Chain A
Amino acid sequence: DARVTQTPRHKVTEMGQEVTMRCQPILGHNTVFWYRQTMMQGLELLAYFRNRAPLDDSGMPKDRFSAEMPDATLATLKIQPSEPRDSAVYFCASGIENTEAFFGQGTRLTVV
């Protein structure tokens, strides 16, 4: 049963701390997305990769957020330093071009 796996599922951290979210895309998928869900903005695209190369990260606050794909089985999203306004659910999704994207279950981040 192929699926996108995200860890951790929940994270509570103090303001100023570093947060790292991880994603294992579905094997064989060449595109990976990071989305953030908030009440106000719905699903916002933060960054996406194709064949591990970053294609667009314009939706990401560059001063504190970074996204990487160290290898084809791992994508990471880091926030340093974290702020209360970063509290949201972060979704990773993977897909193959010209098809739908499959989402993970998300990481619920709370920054206090």
Chain B
Amino acid sequence: DQQVKQNSPSLSVQEGRISILNCDYTNSMFDYFLWYKKYPAEGPTFLISISSIKDKNEDGRFTVFLNKSAKHLSLHIVPSQPGDSAVYFCAASESVFKNSGYALNFGKGTSLLVTP
């Protein structure tokens, strides 16, 4: 049962344009959301996160938007660069204050290709 869904397996964008990667979740208890980037033969690397008390978080060229009512988040990359070509994973977890700890639930990833 996939609680975090990335419905677009792939996305192609021209260099300099905006890349928008989307993610939906089904568990209303999720309150911490993250994006990871993964290059071939490497482990995923953390990119940006957002907690449920915010609706936007920005870090340089990367901005994550959270729409709790729609259970939807998106990652915007502006401007896109060829080095951004990678697989992007969306992840979510329940309350980090749970005594039982937390686990990151991942989507299946979206492969982004930024063309020159």
Contact = CB atoms under 8 A, between A and B. Distances in A.
A30 to B, nearest CB: 9
A42 B107 CA distance: 7
B43 A100 contact: no
Nearest to A97: B96
Interface residues of A, number: 24
Given A91-B43, A100-B46, A35 B106 contact: yes
Given A100-B34, A105-B43, A42 B100 contact: no
A106 B97 CA distance: 29
Contact of B101 (A41, A55, A102): A55
Interface residues of B, number: 24
Contact of B43 (A45, A56, A106): A106
Interface in B54-100: 89, 91, 96-97, 100
A42 B44 contact: no
B46 A42 contact: no
A43 B43 contact: no
Contacts of B11: none
A4 B101 contact: no
A31 B96 contact: no
Nearest to A9: B41
A97 B101 contact: yes
B46 A102 contact: yes
A50 interface: yes
Nearest to A104: B43
Interface string A19-61: 0000000000001010100000111110010100001100000
Interface string A89-112: 001010001101111111000000
A101 B96 contact: no
25 contacts: A4-B43, A31-B101, A31-B102, A33-B103, A33-B104, A35-B106, A42-B109, A43-B89, A43-B106, A43-B108, A45-B104, A45-B106, A48-B101, A50-B101, A55-B101, A93-B104, A97-B96, A97-B101, A98-B96, A100-B46, A100-B49, A101-B46, A101-B104, A104-B43, A105-B43
